[in-house]
Structure 1
Amino acid sequence: MATLALVLSACDSKVGGTPQAAGTPSSSPTSTTATGGSSDNPFAGMDPCKLLDQVLAGQGYPAAKRSDADAAHNCDTKKTDYGVIGLALQPGQTINEITTAPGKAVTGDVNGRPAVQERDALGGTGSCDVSMEAKPKSRATVLVTLQTAGTAEACGVANDVSSKVERLLPANG
């Protein structure tokens, strides 16, 4: 987790783009391969709720449910008195189109996959999003908002969960 945080936070490349609305700690996924997607949708056949449940297994989170925002692609789960972790699998949207505050976004990678981390994406402390590239022109985004912790902890959780999710995504080939 420390290496991943350094990779994303050590970069200082600012990300531009038009803000668009988008739609957390240690257990290993049980599978490291993802089902193949179609050429237009790398996430075809993937369920963001099942994927999120898999990477959060044993962490005390209830089963993920479809999010109110873009329910076709987003799921989230909330641990009472701690925070919310979400996962969005969004075909046709790139990692650079997610930024809501370009000055707060940095580029980097998650396990070698191009990524953008945005701190305090919702305008307040305690939030952090990590969007990972999925070709062609698609992204998987881990969204973390913590109630009782700051941005640094939110980004640590987002980095950890992103690393686990990345292993389950289709290869970027």
Structure 2
Amino acid sequence: MITKSQSLLVVSLSALLAVGLSACSTEKPGNATPVQTQPGGTSVSASTAPEDVFGKLKACDLLEPTSTAKGFDPPAEETYESDNGCGTRKYGYGSVTLYLVPEAGIDQLSAGQGTKIPTKVGERDAVEIPGDAGKQACTVAIAVTPTARMTASTGLNKGTNEEACALSREIATAAEPKLPKGN
């Protein structure tokens, strides 16, 4: 036998469900963005988001050849500095990372605890930052465009900033020819 309070509960729940479902919409929120058509029939979005200069290039593809040859663990994707990063470690030795950063050039890179030293990697402008994360650490950043960079960073368990910089330079030098030509 259903009591009056149970009936009331069923009716109340049904009403809440109906109200909740009627609040749902299949429309997407936001404003419509017009698409302009260029001569020749191609369309261009009016979006202001910059195009990723790295395209389909993946950080792990650039880091893996150098890190594997040196006995590091298989590299894994990470997203600390950008959505296109990769890192690996070697037990008892240290860790290395490589990031492709499409929205910030070498001028926007923080020196952390170190000092930026202008340099070149191949024909590209670069900076080396010994001690950026303290002792036994170094980052080498290569300018791809004025607003995009690649960074190779090393943190050692033992050693010096110069030893860390030597490995970061080696990784950066190996990756540089595979980077897109900037403007």
Same-fold status (TM-score > 0.5) = yes
The Cα shift of 1:70 comes to 4.3
- How far apart are residue 89 of structure 1 and its match? 0.2
Question: Which sections of structure 1, spanning at least 5 residues, go unmatched?
Answer: 1-38
1:102 Cα deviation from its structure 2 partner = 8.2
SS where residue 178 of structure 2 aligns? coil
**What is aligned with 2:179?**
169
Contact 1:88–1:140 under 8 Å retained in 2: yes
Indicate the residue corresponding to 1:41 in structure 2.
52
Percent identity between matched residues is 24
Deviations 1:24-62 (A, max 9, x none): xxxxxxxxxxxxxxx822211011112211233322111
Spell out structure 1 runs of 4+ moving beyond 4 A.
Answer: none
For the residue of structure 2 that corresponds to 1:92, the secondary structure is coil
Aligned ranges 1:7-86 → 2 under 5 Å: 40-67=51-78, 69-70=80-81, 72-86=83-97
Q: Out of 142, 159, 169, which is 2:152 matched to?
A: 142
> Which amino acid counterpart does residue 46 of structure 1 have in structure 2?
L
What is the deviation of 1:168? 1.1
Equivalent in the alignment of 1:131: 141
Judging by fraction of residues, say which structure has more helix.
Answer: 2
CA, structure 1 residues 103+54, in 2 after alignment: closer, same or farther (shift >3 Å)?
closer
Shift in Å, 1:101: 3.7
Q: Distance in 1 between matches of 2:161 and 2:114?
A: 15
- Residue type matched to 1:59 in 2? K
CA distance in 1, matches of 2:151, 2:95: 14
Letter in 2 for 1:81: G
Higher CA-based Rg = 2
Q: Contact 2:67 / 2:88 at 8 angstroms: preserved in 1?
A: no
Paired amino acid for 2:124: R
Work out the CA distance in 2 between the residues paired with 1:101 and 1:148.
20
Unaligned runs of 5+ in 2: 1-49
- Give the paired residue count: 134
Task: State the TM-score, normalizing by the size of structure 1.
Answer: 0.71
Comparing both chains, which one has the higher relative contact order based on Cα–Cα distances under 8 Å and sequence gaps of 6 or more?
Answer: 1
Whether the 8 Å CA contact 2:68–2:74 is kept in 1: the answer is no
1:105 partner letter: K
Q: Indicate if the aligned counterparts of 1:49 and 1:66 stay in contact, CA closer than 8 A.
A: yes
User: Could you say which residue in structure 2 is the equivalent of 1:154?
Assistant: 164
Mapped to 1, the partners of 2:143 and 2:72 lie a distance apart of: 26
Which residue in the other structure is 2:131 paired with?
A: 120
CA apart distance, 1:103: 6.4
**One-letter identity of the residue aligned with 1:162:** A
Distance 1:162 1:63 in 2: 18
Distance 1:127 1:102, change over 3 A: closer
